[in-house]
Structure 1
Amino acid sequence: MLNLLLSLALATAPQAPPPATSTECPVLGEKVTEKNQTVTIKGHSYRICCAPCEDRLRSEPKRYLDDDGSIKRAWEPSGYGQKIEPFHHH
């Protein structure tokens, strides 16, 4: 009985998200490394370049992430030669 209870507890315990492996900030596209801050959104971990990007990613995850958790690359040129996210520079 104790084994059953332990098995159930482990099966329902929240699991840690996988480690972030991204090399680009999902918001700005800046290069990031394992030294950068990590943010977890819907079970996926992402490295971000700065605190403002964390705020943007948390407030609008669908703008920057696909349903499967992959990065949309929203920062790429929009056709007019400008980046979509010019809100700050590093």
Structure 2
Amino acid sequence: MFSYALLEPGCYYLVQEKENEPVVMIHVSVVSDYCMYVHRYGETETMEWKKKTDSIHDILELLSDNVVREWQEVYNSSEGTYDYEEGEE
């Protein structure tokens, strides 16, 4: 078991927050004395405050800058792909 306190601001991680849950990518944006503001990229993107003491089942990987750049290209190119009404091209 790990906690959010191990994560560094400005970094992207692949984590499994609870056992048998899907892997999600998180980005630590802001760190205060007791909490962290994180972006979660799973099925949807969410932003939330987490206590540093909140548990993480597994920290799978700290993503390199190159991997983050590649992910951003894919993520940004697919944004809005499904946001059209029937009959639109």
TM-score, normalising length from structure 1?
0.27
Larger RCO: Structure 1 or Structure 2 (Cα < 8 Å, ≥ 6 residues apart)? 2
Rg comparison, structure with higher value: 1
Relative to total residues, which structure has the larger helix share, 1 or 2? 1
TM-score, normalising length from structure 2?
0.27
